[in-house]
Amino acid sequence: MLRLREVERLTGYKSSNIYRMIKEEVFPQQRRIGLGTVGWDSREIDRRIEERLEGAAQ
């Protein structure tokens, strides 16, 4: 599981953009991993990065 700062670093997106894209259903949803703590599945983030790279190559 990745925390928000790690997701920002890997994707290059700021938190406001991440949450906007989640709301628009174009970015993986975060998951609760504890009380007041959320994280993202690293595989889902990796897939999102790959999709973004493939789209840029076209």
pLDDT of 24: 98
For 39, the enclosing helix (H) or strand (E) is: strand 37-39
Tell whether the model's pLDDT for residue 54 goes beyond 90. Answer: no
pLDDT of 57: 72
Tell whether the model's pLDDT for residue 47 goes beyond 80. Answer: yes
pLDDT of 4: 97
Q: Which of 9, 48, 10, 12 is nearest to 28 (CA)?
A: 48
pLDDT tens digits for range 8-46: 999 999 999 999 999 999 999 999 999 999 999 999 999
